[in-house]
Amino acid sequence: MPKILIVDDEVGIRELLSEILQDEGYDITLAENASAARAARNAQRPDLVLLDIWMPDSDGISLLKEWSANGQLTMPVVMMSGHGTIDSAVEATRIGALDFLEKPIALQKLLATVRNGLARKPTAAVAAQLTLTAFNRSMPLRDFRQRLLQIRERSRLLLMRVASGSIAELAARTLQAPGSGWLDLSTLTEPVEGEQLQALMGGVVFVPELIRLSRLQRTNLVFAIDRIERYKLTIALATEQTAESLAKAGWDEALLTRLAEVSLIAPGLAELRDEIPEMATLILQHLGESAEVPPRKLSSAALNALRTRNWPSGYPELRAAIRSLALATLNETIELEDLDRELGPALESVASPVSLDQPLREAREQFERLYFEYHLTREANNMTRIAERTGVERTHLYRKLRQLGLHGGRRSEESPAE
């Protein structure tokens, strides 16, 4: 029996449509607002949705955009409105709605539209990656998205200034038009060619961290910037570094000036702790919709624990953690103990690795060893980047590492990408 979800804030319309469609043999679920519709869609996986545009908590167009952005628009959606306009119908269809019904809805039109919708094969196309559009209920992310898109209207080149826990990739994905290409320049080890950019027409060129680009990759970046208008590219760059730090690392100052013409400070996960539970929930839903993981949900305790954890590598680290938890957890619900088992105990709950019951000199040496071991691992023994990140001059850095019994290999002198 086909399942139909009816979403309308007017109880009379919900009941009338429910009676008509139940008489036709359909299994009906009712929702009075967007919040109830989200819950019903996740629980019931309806075969078709009748969605009102005007609702008190969130309009139907926004809910349709949200489902489309997070990969949940896998069922036909028919929009309904008593104040319908051509613009509303066009926008809804562009986003992915099947049809548009204007109230009062004629019986034959309703039944024909429902039959046509159910006759369509289920949509298997799930968004490859989440974007900021999926997090429509988060005020900080919604505001950041609006600033991001406002800048995009005037500039195809954007530099995001980020901190530890970056959401730069999530932001850059938001700038990607549906069906357009994506190129992470930091993954290329060969010169980029015009044919590649031609194939990318209208797409996004992304750089997650400028300081990590090799000389060849910097040349590729300049090549793409010079052809930004020809191929209608959007170039989204991110860095934790200052212009002075990049110049010291060998970047051309004229290029840095060009890159910094339009910049935006992007919040990190440390600033978005209260948004992490929603982010984790939507990530898990998206992974489930795309069949990357079994159907799972996160308990309240697990969501709170994710919120309090540190995510120094940002959104990609959070997404990888959610995916690992969903794949490794045996039960339908991911609990707090699953986090501790699969991700390890949170940093805050770990005892201090440096004993406080020892002389200051020994404690300082122990801390310094742990500190530099961390940065050697993080930067893959690249001494230039370690010196930059720790603020220690390279000659002194070599001396300090020898004193601590730590040694970065000579291969660390060059970036692994070069």
Report the CATH architecture of 132-265.
3-Layer(aba) Sandwich (3.40)
The class (CATH top level) of 3-119 is alpha beta
Neighbour count for residue 364 (Cβ, 10 Å): 12
In the structure encoding, which two tokens stand for residue 145, read together? 């998205």
Q: b/e string for 324-344 if b means 16 or more Cβ within 10 A?
A: ebbeebeeeebbbebbeeeee
Which of the following CATH numbers is that of domain 360-413: 3.30.2020.30, 1.10.10.60, 3.40.50.460, 2.60.40.1730?
1.10.10.60
Residue keyed to tokens 């707090």: 336
Sheet holding 3-7, edge to edge: 27-31, 3-7, 48-52, 77-81, 99-102
Tokens encoding 356: 């406080």
Q: pLDDT tens for residues 179-215?
A: 789 999 999 999 999 999 999 999 999 999 999 999 9
- In order along its 418 residues, the chain shows pLDDT tens digits of 899 999 999 999 999 999 999 999 999 999 999 989 988 998 888 999 999 988 877 788 888 988 887 778 889 999 998 765 667 777 888 888 999 898 889 999 999 999 999 998 665 445 568 899 888 778 899 999 999 999 999 999 999 999 888 999 999 999 998 778 999 999 999 999 999 999 999 999 999 999 999 999 999 999 999 999 999 999 999 999 999 999 999 999 999 999 999 999 999 998 899 999 999 999 998 898 888 899 899 999 999 999 989 999 999 999 999 999 999 999 999 999 999 899 987 654 444 566 666 788 888 888 888 888 878 876 677 888 788 888 888 888 888 888 888 865 444 344 444 4
Q: Could you identify the residue written with the tokens 């896998």?
A: 74
Fold of 273-349: Helicase, Ruva Protein; domain 3 (1.10.8)
Query: What are the helix (H) ranges across 271-350?
Result: 276-289, 300-308, 315-328, 336-343
The ranges assigned to domains in the chain are: 3-119, 132-265, 273-349, 360-413
Residues 198 and 194: their CA atoms lie apart, in Å, by 6
pLDDT at 128: 65
Which phi and psi (to 5°) does residue 217 adopt?
Answer: -65, -30
Quickly tell me which residue has 């978005």 as its tokens. Answer: 272
Distance CA 211, CA 225 (A): 17
Indicate if 132-265 has the same CATH topology as 3-119: yes
Residues sharing a CB contact under 8 Å with residue 169, sequence separation 6 or more, in sequence order? 206, 208, 314, 315, 316
pLDDT of residue 83: 66
Residues 6+ apart with CB under 8 A from 117: 48, 76, 78, 98, 99
